[in-house]
A and B are shown apart, each in its own frame.
Chain A
């Protein structure tokens, strides 16, 4: 599943960039994400993703690895996790980009999300919709946090 989102933030690019690397604040914007830990500064992190669709709950202990980093403009990361209780795995390839437009910053995400295992029985459409909602909420939360600060 491919997702693409852009969010316009009324804050300078440096500030958005710093925010992304402030793991605790950044993770607090991801709905259902908790227990973020830095394993290796700027490179590897862990967190737990908890999501719910009606009675169906998943909990993915997730490893996040930063693969590429271009100062102030781009981050490429990969996240993967498995929920052994319900026998499902998740893999996310994330491409985050930053660019300046007038006095604003455009934060863009391209995410490739793969859900494997029993969870897929819920149906591709329902999972896609949920992932879309999570990304939307995340983008809005980032915007609010950064604009609220200025």
Chain B
């Protein structure tokens, strides 16, 4: 049963930040509520106050600003999976969003809520990392951008300060020869492994590779060491480096043995997904 709480209805991000600063751990930002309310109903977390941000203006749009794709933190997964602009510029993100949980979750759940809750099995963070996304964090007096690599600290932990609010996700628009893919594996709605790959292919040569792995461990991780095996290489040579890159990425996932599979199994699946992602982008 959901315990009683007070619902705050701020009008601006500055007010949300001020409320977070004032009430600290006893208050939590509430957007879609698809994860937070479940945890509260289960009695796993207790908050005296929920700060409803759903009414805030200007945080539910998808737009392109000066070569950067800007996604408002209050955009629902459903909005993203049906965005024609994203379909054109970031089809991998659209495909990912189409497969987040189920349609009820996608209809209510927001991208910002998903990122801030930092549930280890969530999909979006991993791809956003490979896309070079930055998270815009605001508080009453300041605004900063946090690279996706620095945003995810641990399971259920982000680098947002106590009074900071995630307002936007900014993704550089991929160039004409850039490609990206996100593949996941698991049963039911919780993936046990997710792999994201983004790269540019110019005249048979690969550059700007970004690899990220998620779901298997506590938080999404970028795998720079494996990227080096692709950058500056021809597609054939990169193909030959796939097994080695898979092993490195598997280790970087910090996979945890659980009901979804053992650590070794998940590490192996990382390699398989990386290979499939690479083949789907470079063929």
Q: Which residues of A contact B (CB under 8 A)?
A: 53-57, 85-87, 118-119, 121-126, 128-129
Contacts and interface: CB of A to CB of B under 8 A. Distances in A.
B256 interface: yes
A123 B216 CA distance: 12
B255 to A, nearest CB: 9
B107 interface: no
A56 B45 contact: yes
Given A55-B28, A123-B258, A124-B258, 14 more contacts: A53-B156, A54-B157, A55-B156, A56-B156, A85-B43, A119-B44, A124-B259, A125-B256, A125-B258, A126-B120, A126-B155, A126-B218, A126-B256, A128-B257
Contacts of B258: 123-125, 128
A123 B119 CA distance: 11
Interface hub of B42, B44, B120, B155 (most chain A Cβ within 10 A): B44
A72 B45 CA distance: 43
B46 interface: yes
B53 to A, nearest CB: 17
Nearest to A55: B45
Interface hub of A55, A87, A125 (most chain B Cβ within 10 A): A125
Interface in B39-55: 39, 42-46
Contact of B44 (A122, A125, A129): A122
A53 B256 CA distance: 15
5 contacts: A55-B39, A56-B44, A56-B156, A118-B43, A121-B44
Contacts of A124: 258-259
Question: Which interface class (under 10, 10 to 19, 20 to 34, 35 or more) fits B?
Answer: 10 to 19
A50 to B, nearest CB: 13
Contacts of A57: 45
A129 B256 contact: yes
A86 B43 contact: yes
Contact of B257 (A55, A85, A87, A125): A125
Contacts of A126: 120, 155, 218, 256
Nearest to B255: A125
B118 interface: yes
A85 B118 CA distance: 23
Contacts of B42: 118, 121
Contacts of B43: 85-87, 118
A88 to B, nearest CB: 9
Contacts of B156: 53-56
Interface in B1-55: 28, 39, 42-46
B154 interface: yes
Given A56-B156, A123-B258, A129 B218 contact: yes
A85 B120 CA distance: 24
Contacts of A118: 42-44
Nearest to B157: A54
A-B complex: 4 closest residue pairs judged by Cβ atoms: A54-B156, A125-B256, A125-B258, A124-B258
Contacts of B45: 55-57
Contacts of A53: 155-156
Contacts of B259: 124
A89 B281 CA distance: 49
Contact of A54 (B46, B155, B256, B257): B155
Contacts of A55: 28, 39, 45, 156
Interface in B103-124: 118, 120
B155 A85 contact: no
A56 B28 CA distance: 12
Interface hub of A57, A86, A123 (most chain B Cβ within 10 A): A123
